[in-house]
Amino acid sequence: MSPKHFLNYEGFSKESLTSIINRGLELKSLKQLPKSLENKSLGLIFEKPSTRTRVSFEIGIQKLGGNSIFLSSSDLQMSRGEPISDTAKVLSSMLDAVVIRTANHELLEIFSQNSSIPVINGLSNLYHPCQILADLMTFKEFNGNLNISKVAWIGDSNNVCNSYIEAAKLFDFNLSIYCPNGYEPNSEVMRSQNNNVVLSKTRESALREAKVVTTDVWTSMHSENQTQEKSNKFEGYTVDPGCMELAHKEAIFLHCLPAHRGEEVSIDMLEHNSSKVWYQAENRLHVQQALLENLLLD
């Protein structure tokens, strides 16, 4: 039987993802967690720095009775030329699942094709599916449902935005993206959507009646040399309290973090009364625990 991978939302239904979100909320509410993943081992292969993804997966499986091992890509034989396929086969014989954070989504594809255990995308250049699970969980936590209707994305159309595009199709909400010319979403990802995504020409139209307002840094990891260039092009794309006044009266603000205050968000935005970013960050732990259960126990 082939393992169930989590590289993006392909192969997952609205019902299955909702079940994971609901389980995440349930786990968050428990005073005593079950040892549901006892004796399960999780490997983490990271080519990029990480705070929330690494800590949430490591601590998450530990709290459910399992264990983890962190594997920096520079410490693996892949760094000396071992084929990804060989590494995948070896680790599959020793671990129960693996999380990979990489600058190259193709590495995830090759690894999963040669893996007999679940492979989880901990962030790639193309998608960040774990993050949107936490975003959806946060919305339900504060609204009691997943009737989002509309999300406004302001800024660079990056990997997080791509996962929002996938989620919009599955959960049938509208996604309005307001970005500078030349920073539109990935064309292949856009082709897969179901008329739920609109490229807004004005900030006001993107924000109108949005129940979630979200953004991400203008400069991704290892692209810091573009900071000044992007700062010029992204002038006017900062999310501030004024944006929330244009959105739905009960809208929440989310940011996957880390945040660059004074760039994609104003200095005071993370502390605004609409901001749920700290709950969102914590929810990475709970929803990924639920994801691990889903992949390892089904």
Q: Which residues are catalytic?
A: 101, 128, 131, 216, 256, 284
3-state secondary structure at position 217? coil
Interatomic CA distance for residues 92 and 96, integer angstroms: 7
Query: At residue 86, what is the residue type?
Result: D
Interatomic CA distance for residues 269 and 288, integer angstroms: 26
Distance of alpha carbon 235 from its chain centroid, rounded?
A: 25
The residue among 156, 131, 61, 144 whose CA lies nearest residue 277 is 131
Alpha helices in 36-100 (DSSP H): 52-63, 84-92
DSSP-based helix, strand, coil % in the chain, nearest 5: 45, 15, 40
Residues 100 and 111 sit within 8 Å (Cβ to Cβ): yes
* CB neighbourhood size of 62 (10 A): 13
CB-based burial label for 1 (10 Å; 0-12, 13-18, 19+): exposed
* CB neighbourhood size of 49 (10 A): 11
